[in-house]
């Protein structure tokens, strides 16, 4: 389940096996042969899938991102078997949970305390990205050929350490609660300090990254991880 223009969507690529199809193209054929019906249920976007690790040649596969109405139509057109019924119930719950989460998130974003936490988080993130920019130049001067990847690598490293992410979000910071925003801000500051100190000491860039990662892991060992969205939202409580 992911968000596309703030609407919950399910990828055909993620469900074709559960629906009893040996290849994704067989499930896509159902959509292609009934495309006008699916488009009656709303915009029908495509998502490009990366080739499986270890695969040789071939073009990236494209999957349809279905909204709730389109997914229901697909189920009606698919082979009828116990797996289909089980999957329909499972995905229906996910759509319900995601819609509840989105509603709660939108309500939260009107809260003055949340807005203040978000504002503070943007400041700490800006400070961190400024340091990362310096770090990239530092790494390039030490011979790195892919230093510009550190923006994404550090972001993913922090998010993976701090959160158990239930769904895909365009900007995870927009869906965190106040406490999570504060925690992430602390993490940003921690990483910025690790990088700044490492560069001041002239440490090799790879060691600096590993040191910042270790500092994040030490922080998480004290405060723990949390779900995104929070478990309360996922359960629809």
DSSP class per residue in 84-147? HHHHHHHHHHHHHHHHHHHHHHHHHTT-HHHHHHHHHHHHHHHHHHHHHHHHHHHHHHTT-SSG
DSSP secondary structure letter of residue 54 = T
> Which one, of 127, 188, 139, 130, lies nearest residue 161 by Cα?
188
The answer to whether 126 and 185 have CB atoms below 8 angstroms apart is no
Kindly give the confidence (pLDDT) of every residue in the chain, 237 residues in length, as a single tens digit, with 9 standing for 90 and above.
Answer: 787 777 889 999 999 998 888 899 999 999 999 999 999 999 999 988 776 565 555 667 899 999 999 999 998 898 777 777 788 888 888 888 888 888 888 888 888 989 999 999 999 999 999 999 999 999 999 999 999 999 999 999 999 999 998 777 778 898 899 999 999 999 999 999 999 999 999 999 999 999 999 999 999 999 999 988 754 443 333
The token pair at 227 is 């779900």
**3-state SS of 171-215?**
CHHHCCCHHHHHHHHHHHHHHHHHHHHHHHHCCCHHHHHHHHHHH
Say whether 226 sits in a helix, a strand or coil: strand
The answer to whether 159 and 176 have CB atoms below 8 angstroms apart is no
The answer to whether 169 and 98 have CB atoms below 8 angstroms apart is no
pTM: 0.66
The predicted pLDDT at position 188 comes to 96
The predicted pLDDT at position 232 comes to 46
Contacts by residues 58-63 (CB-CB < 8 Å, ≥ 24 positions apart): 61/13, 61/24, 63/11, 63/12, 63/13, 63/14, 63/24, 63/28
With a CB cutoff of 8 Å and minimum separation 6, the contacts of 191 are: 128, 131, 154, 158, 212, 215, 216
User: In the block, which residue shows the tokens 């009934």?
Assistant: 34
Other beta carbons within 10 angstroms of residue 156's beta carbon come to 10
> Which one, of 95, 81, 98, lies nearest residue 21 by Cα?
81
Rounded distance between C-alpha atoms, residue 152 and residue 156, angstroms: 6
């Amino acid at each position: 389940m992911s968000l596309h223009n703030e609407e919950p969507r399910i990828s055909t690529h993620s469900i074709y096996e559960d629906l009893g199809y040996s290849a994704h193209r067989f499930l896509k054929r159902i959509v292609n042969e009934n495309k006008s019906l699916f488009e009656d249920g709303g915009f029908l976007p495509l998502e490009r899938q990366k080739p499986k690790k270890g695969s040789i040649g071939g073009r990236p596969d494209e999957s349809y991102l279905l909204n709730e109405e389109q997914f229901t139509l697909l189920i009606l057109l698919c082979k009828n078997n116990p797996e289909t019924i089980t999957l329909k119930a499972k995905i229906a719950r996910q759509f319900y949970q995601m819609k509840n989460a989105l509603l709660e998130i939108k309500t939260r974003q009107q809260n003055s305390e949340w807005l203040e936490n978000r504002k503070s988080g943007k400041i700490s993130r800006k400070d961190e990205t400024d340091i990362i920019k310096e770090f990239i130049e530092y790494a390039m001067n030490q011979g790195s050929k892919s230093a510009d990847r550190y923006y994404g690598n550090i972001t993913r490293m922090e998010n993976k350490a701090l959160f158990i992410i239930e769904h895909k979000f365009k900007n995870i910071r927009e869906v965190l609660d106040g406490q999570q925003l504060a925690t992430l801000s602390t993490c940003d500051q921690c990483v910025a300090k690790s990088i700044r100190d490492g560069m001041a000491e002239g440490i090799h860039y790879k060691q600096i990254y590993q040191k910042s990662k270790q500092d994040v892991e030490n922080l998480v060992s004290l405060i723990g991880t949390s779900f995104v969205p929070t478990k309360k939202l996922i359960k629809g409580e």
